[in-house]
Structure 1
Amino acid sequence: MFEFAWPWVWILLPLPVLVRFLAPATALGASNALKVPFIGQMERAVGKHAGITKSSAQGKLIFAMLVWTLFVASAAKPQWLGEPIAQQLEGRDLVLAVDLSESMLEKDFRFQGQLINRLVATKIVTGDFIERREGDRIGLILFAGQAYYQAPLTHDRKTVKTFLDEAQAGLAGKSTAIGDAIGLAVKRFKELESKQRILILLTDGTNNAGVLDPMSAAQLAKDFGVKVYTIGVAGGGQLAGPIGGEQALLNDYLNATPQSSIDEKTLQAIAQTTGGQYFSAGDLQQLAGIYAALDELEPVEQGSEFYRPIEPLFQWPLLLGLLLSMILLVLNRRLIGMGS
């Protein structure tokens, strides 16, 4: 949309005419004189100089007023306003800590009629959660016997999701170092001086490795303002889609009985200590519901402010006005030469 930033400048448009007819004449030779642009040209344009035709004088007058109009238009700051763009507010720093212990290979979740392991189920639902966190910086910690940062905090959600999809269970060991995963997240939050610090820890087992005790890590997280949400994952072969026959469902369920126990008491204590919550996921619907609940508990900061990109245009009437004023000066000299 086109507009003038200073439209009040247009009141100056009739200034040369007002000065010409309202200001008192100044005697020749006077020490003080008011010089107004184009007044001399306008006087000569109306026929006061010998040899200048009436049509030429009228043409010069129109030309001079056009130049003055362009200068006033430039001073009024013409500009082009772009379409409104949502102002992105500062989002949260949110780290996902995903268990890669060997027990995550247990196939006790159902998806589209087939059994899938816990890690695949986690990737399906967590990937959707990552894509919805627009405006947040997302980080990814993978842990088993050790914890390591797979993706630093970033706004590039696609890359974080790719790293999660490429993660493989069992490669970092068979055990589970929950305390180390929490401690690593706290360390990174501290280094980056994050303002809103959220850790979502997903595991299917009990802490049995690492150097940092889970409750000590939870206290450390509390001290540094890190809120931890814990999720215990252990399915039972429940349906996430249609399958054929009750007998097949029964067989799948019996074959998919979880082989690892979740230390729910510790996970609940971690969440309670840090101001978060503990969730238990037994199937894909519950797991998806947990992430939906997290979206409600820690909503994405939506841009409530808008700005419109501004492209200044004042230089164009200014340049055109300067060009026409030079042309006017040349024409004036030629007409004077013709009349002398």
Structure 2
Amino acid sequence: MITFENPLFLHLSWGLLLLLLLYVVYRHWQAKAQLRLGDKALVERLYPGRSTGRSHTRFGVLLLAYTCFVIALANPVLPLSEEKRNAKEEVAMVFAIDVSRSMLVSDVLPNRLTQAKKLVREVTAALKGEEVGLVVFAGKAYPYLPLTTDYRVIESAVKVISTEMVPRQGTSFEEALKISSLLLTSRPQKARVICVLSDGESHTSQYGSLADSLSKAGVYVFSFGLGTEAGGHVPEQQAEGRQEFKKDKQGALVVSRLQEKNLIRLVGVQPARYARLGSAGNQALHFIEDIRQLPAPVATAKAPAKKELFQYFLLAALLLLVLELLIAPGKGVARFKRTGT
């Protein structure tokens, strides 16, 4: 059943009676003024394009436009069912993407970072109303894209993510969780999700308690691992066209391996919220199914969901005004045939 958020504006509908009264008075005055010019036949010859029916039609269109404006101001809303409310529009998620140089290791082809970006694109391509934000992190974390449902913008933003975006190297899950949670603070009424994509090579140890605090605050943390136990060498900037790899202080090649235990620690007591990327099945769809089943915060679960309809009445009013302009009052110039004497 449609209700109104601002019902007081409906009192403006009394203006319809006032407009109708003014129109009747105006038409009466106009008729008397025309009679003063002469008889009716002469007036019709002087103004051959005038049409009483057309004037009535224009006024009727204006009344309809006014009615639509009043309804738009009252803001009609349509209650949504619980199923529609909790399925899609009630989810806000942030992808925290590791952009440390170890994400360029090619133990998963073509490299870890490319696989992470591919997952984000696959997820957003299948979304229908969920909000998505992006955070990039290495030794520091930075908000890259605020929450939005414009999936084309998200796809374009993901394409240009690179390891050059964060100058401070390393991997700080604590920074990633902090910045991601900040993006979600404006959505307390939704199921809030942080999804970390990393190889798990953390250089800090304080993130465990932060992840637990987020869980208690109603923020759900998921993680995806990129890489293998065998690992691979970390590429560095090319010199003279040659591919070089990172070495330790003794000159030995550094091997970067997937550290799953750190990523499992991120999800706390919910190990099912961790997955190794590329391990099995369509992980993007599985992830979407999981987040759509998350409950909304208890404090807002009982708040009725609704769809605002004012924009449709506003559009109708504008279209009616355009129609009124197209119904121009007929005007003409009287023409008299000259007769010879």
Could you tell me the TM-score, scaled by structure 1's length? 0.55
2:121 to 96, 115, 127: 127
Distance 2:49 2:101 in 1: 87
What one-letter code is carried by the residue in structure 2 that aligns with 1:97? A
Contact 1:183 1:221 in 2 (8 A): no
Q: How far is 1:205 from its partner?
A: 2.2
SS of 1:202's partner is strand
Equivalence for 1:25 = none
- 1:86-122 Cα deviation digits (max 9, x unpaired): x9x956432111122343222233xxxxx41111222
What one-letter code is carried by the residue in structure 2 that aligns with 1:98? I
The aligned runs of 1:276-315 (5 Å cut-off) are 277-282=273-278, 286=280, 289-299=282-292, 308=312, 309-310=315-316, 311-313=318-320
Instruction: Give the 3 Å change call, closer, same or farther, for CA 224–64 of structure 1 in structure 2.
Output: same
Instruction: Give the 3 Å change call, closer, same or farther, for CA 174–78 of structure 1 in structure 2.
Output: closer
Structure 1 residue 180 and structure 2 residue 175: aligned? Answer: yes
What one-letter code is carried by the residue in structure 2 that aligns with 1:178? F
Contact 1:183 1:220 in 2 (8 A): no
Contact 1:146 1:177 in 2 (8 A): yes
Equivalence for 1:231 = 224
Distance 2:277 2:98 in 1: 14
SS of 2:139's partner is coil
Q: How far is 1:199 from its partner?
A: 0.7
Equivalence for 2:147 = 153
Equivalence for 2:260 = 263
Instruction: Give the 3 Å change call, closer, same or farther, for CA 94–70 of structure 1 in structure 2.
Output: same
Root-mean-square deviation (CA, aligned residues, Å) is 5.0
Instruction: Show structure 2 runs of 5+ residues with no match.
Output: 1-12, 69-79, 81-87, 231-254, 294-305, 335-341
- 1:152-177 Cα deviation digits (max 9, x unpaired): 33445444444433333486566432
Contact 2:62 2:320 in 1 (8 A): no
Equivalence for 1:142 = 136
Contact 1:227 1:274 in 2 (8 A): no
SS of 1:139's partner is strand
Contact 2:138 2:172 in 1 (8 A): yes
- 1:134-155 Cα deviation digits (max 9, x unpaired): 5444322222333332333344
Distance 1:118 1:41 in 2: 83
Q: How far is 1:219 from its partner?
A: 1.7
SS of 2:110's partner is strand
SS of 2:175's partner is helix
Q: How far is 1:318 from its partner?
A: 8.9
Equivalence for 1:165 = 159
Instruction: Show structure 1 runs of 5+ residues with no match.
Output: 17-34, 82-86, 110-114, 238-257, 332-340
What one-letter code is carried by the residue in structure 2 that aligns with 1:260? R
Instruction: Give the 3 Å change call, closer, same or farther, for CA 272–69 of structure 1 in structure 2.
Output: same
Instruction: Give the 3 Å change call, closer, same or farther, for CA 194–160 of structure 1 in structure 2.
Output: farther
Q: How far is 1:198 from its partner?
A: 1.3
Distance 2:322 2:158 in 1: 51
Q: Tell which deviates more after alignment, 155-164 or 135-144.
A: 155-164
What one-letter code is carried by the residue in structure 2 that aligns with 1:262? Q
Distance 1:318 1:61 in 2: 20
What one-letter code is carried by the residue in structure 2 that aligns with 1:263? E
Distance 1:121 1:155 in 2: 22
Equivalence for 1:66 = 53
Distance 2:54 2:172 in 1: 78
Structure 1 residue 214 and structure 2 residue 207: aligned? Answer: yes
Equivalence for 1:249 = none
What one-letter code is carried by the residue in structure 2 that aligns with 1:77? L
What one-letter code is carried by the residue in structure 1 that aligns with 2:102? S
Instruction: Give the 3 Å change call, closer, same or farther, for CA 177–236 of structure 1 in structure 2.
Output: closer
Say how many residue pairs are matched.
254
The aligned runs of 1:83-98 (5 Å cut-off) are 92-98=91-97
What one-letter code is carried by the residue in structure 2 that aligns with 1:215? G
- 1:169-228 Cα deviation digits (max 9, x unpaired): 4865664322331122123323x3553321111122243x23x62221112212332111
- 1:50-103 Cα deviation digits (max 9, x unpaired): x84x85488799967436634652454269x9xxxxx9x956432111122343
Could you tell me the TM-score, scaled by structure 2's length? 0.55
Contact 2:264 2:271 in 1 (8 A): no
Contact 1:74 1:315 in 2 (8 A): no
Contact 2:225 2:258 in 1 (8 A): no
Instruction: Give the 3 Å change call, closer, same or farther, for CA 120–312 of structure 1 in structure 2.
Output: closer
